[in-house]
Structure 1
């Protein structure tokens, strides 16, 4: 399940949660870039979930229980956690998220420049390989439905290889249930615009729901490649 870090170690890694080190934020908390002693000093991404969030508790537990089992080149690695607060420590993705590049959220960062067509195709291939690993149960005891596939949850390493992240809303089904990943849910969770109509009407989420969500990302106008205006 990864290394259990103390709160003191996390504070040291983030300069006591310095806002200057924030690299992402959402409804559940903030993500900091930090440096931690992990058999040597390495850069990490530290997600600090809001203490008062009831959903944050479930998200924290779900991420530890789910992602700690994964070993795949297109799934982000969980390195450890801290139980004194709800904190998760991940490998650091230097090129941010796919969303950063598509929407140019890192306009002052040269690494958020427009992606080439080849890079976009390779990102699609990598992300779908990660999803296939989740859906087929390869190497783990359960099949996993992500339930929140979108560009902000596709992270990019230093070679722009795609890695699926953020498993706080994921659901699992036993790997021995061949031919199905269907899971019935009491509440509909996810991001509007990425959820399929069948999920809304039946409350039954399947791997097709993840495929639909990623298809929405890949077919969006932001993802389509346009030649630079000054190209020949």
Structure 2
């Protein structure tokens, strides 16, 4: 089925995904059996020993999504382990409006040029709510699983459907805590993305890492700026309330921040 899917009029979206070690394919049309357009992620462990443990960890982490059924998380429809060739495949639905980062940048360009934009304030607040709900669900845990930390919340890992409903993707850096635990000790923090790094580096992973990154996403939605944007030497995540209000991308709305 994987070979048939890869031969069915698909195109490579992006390769060498950070933390995922592979390729992403998107079907141009509905795939038989799923009856929707899908995304196929391929993680290639290969024969080399370099980063092999880390790659296998990424495979295990990706499978956590199969136990997360929530409206704010893209479901994992199927996965296949090709142990012989060291390749692992994950199939999930394709959301037509792409990732939040690209939509924000589209709006930034259009607003600057006084053209129509996609995300009004109602849609932006809805996106904040939906991702916050997904985080609350992941962090709560239940009798079937422990608390799950995403560890790579960013606008590139939030995708939008035709009605601009938001869902989380990419669990390659995620971690599951044991029942009752509030943190996880690690020898090294997982790789992240510039602009989203925690302000303090330490060897305990907690829910606060996800909250910190989600806070940066909220600032992106308010300002329309990239997470790595700096102003007078200050990164976006360190801006004060007045500076954030002054840079609202869609001005006809009152932003109230605590």
Structure-2 residue corresponding to 1:226? 250
Match of 1:132 among 116, 129, 136: 136
- Within 2, Cα distance between the matches of 1:192 and 1:144? 22
Q: Distance in 1 between matches of 2:55 and 2:98?
A: 22
Q: Where does residue 210 of structure 2 map in the other structure?
A: 210
Residues 195 and 140 (structure 1), Cα distance of their counterparts in 2 relative to 1, 3 Å cut: farther
Task: Measure how far apart 1:164 and its partner are.
Answer: 1.1
2:23 match: 30
Q: CA deviation at 1:156?
A: 1.0
Residue segments in structure 2 that go unaligned for 5+ positions in a row: 110-115, 226-247, 253-258
Q: 1:197 to 1:96 in 2, by over 3 A?
A: same
In structure 1, the gaps of 5 or more residues are 1-5
CA distance in 2 between counterparts of 1:102 and 1:96 reads 11
SS in 2 for 1:82: strand
Q: Name the CA shift for 1:57/1:151 in 2 (closer, same or farther; >3 Å).
A: same
Residues 214, 148 of structure 1: CA spacing in aligned structure 2 closer, same or farther, 3 A cutoff?
A: same
Query: 1:152-193 CA deviation, whole Å, 9 max, x = no partner?
Result: 11111122111111111011113x41xx53111111112232
Separation in 1, partners of 2:133, 2:31 = 30
1:144 — aligned with what?
148
Distance 1:114 1:139, change over 3 A: farther
Take 1:80 and 1:36, find their aligned partners in 2: how far apart are those partners? Answer: 13
Q: Is the Cα contact below 8 Å between 1:131 and 1:164 reproduced in 2?
A: no
In the superposition, the TM-score normalised over structure 1's length comes to 0.79
Give 1:23 shift. 3.3
Q: CA deviation at 1:150?
A: 0.4
1:131 and 1:139, CA in 2 relative to 1: closer, same or farther beyond 3 A? farther
Q: What residue is the counterpart of 1:3 in the other structure?
A: none
Tell me whether 213-222 or 92-101 shows the greater mean CA deviation: 213-222
How many residues align structurally? 206
Q: Which residue of 2 aligns with 1:86?
A: 88
* RMSD after superposition: 2.5
The alpha-carbon deviation at position 138 of structure 1 amounts to 4.5
- In the TM superposition, residue 197 of structure 1 has moved relative to its aligned partner by 2.7
Bigger mean CA deviation after superposition, 181-190 or 132-141: 132-141
